[in-house]
Amino acid sequence: MPRINVIGYPEANGRLREIYDQLLEKRGKLADVHKIQSLRPESIVHHMDLYLEIMFSRSPLSRAEREMIAVVVSVANGCFYCQTHHAIALNHYWKDKEKLEKLIRNDASLLITPREQSLCRYAHSLTIEPEKHEKRNFTLELKKAGLDDHAILDATLVIAYFNFVNRIVLSLGLEVEKDQGKGYKY
């Protein structure tokens, strides 16, 4: 149950209703993480712009790799809402529920590539101990795994974005919807 007032679709009017309609058209559904920002409608627009840029724009990281990072960050933060939504998105690409469940349990090392393992370790470390990254160069492992600077920047942006969103979700009391994220356009 959200801890702040949320303006739902039926009550929305003006600019908020316009934003909701645009989200429904582009994404297929309104996510609670967007509706939680209904008191600041323009923040929804900027949030979606950032999300689409980081998760869907051209990148040396595949869509699956970006969703995998989202899941790892969300698991590390204990954000079941984002973990659930992005696990569904990741499995849209992987099509392997057992592999996904092992990733969530941090037991996927034999199921994912060395490149993916490096990305997962980086995401987990930057999420739970960011201060260590100031003095130690964690990007070396990523470079050894074949990731270039563009890929490392993109991974870092995905990690930072999901740490940001996880904190919105956790602090404002969002819960996974009953339909568990079904209906979104991937």
Q: Give the model confidence (pLDDT) of 48-104 as tens digits.
A: 999 999 999 999 999 999 999 999 999 999 999 999 999 999 999 999 999 999 999
Report the pLDDT value the prediction gives residue 59, as an integer from 0 to 100: 98
**What total number of domains does the chain contain?**
1
Q: Of all helices (H) and strands (E), which one includes residue 143?
A: helix 139-144
pLDDT band at 108 (very low <50, low <70, confident <90, very high): confident
Domain assignment present for 181: no
What are the two backbone dihedrals, phi and then psi, of residue 17, each rounded to the nearest 5 degrees? -65, -40
What are 109-142's pLDDT values in tens digits?
878 899 999 999 999 999 999 999 999 999 999 9
CB 50 within 8 A of CB 62: no
The residue segments making up the domain with residue 161 are 63-166
Report the pLDDT value the prediction gives residue 7, as an integer from 0 to 100: 97
Q: Of all helices (H) and strands (E), which one includes residue 35?
A: helix 32-35
CB 85 within 8 A of CB 181: yes
Q: What is the CATH number of the domain that holds 96?
A: 1.20.1290.10
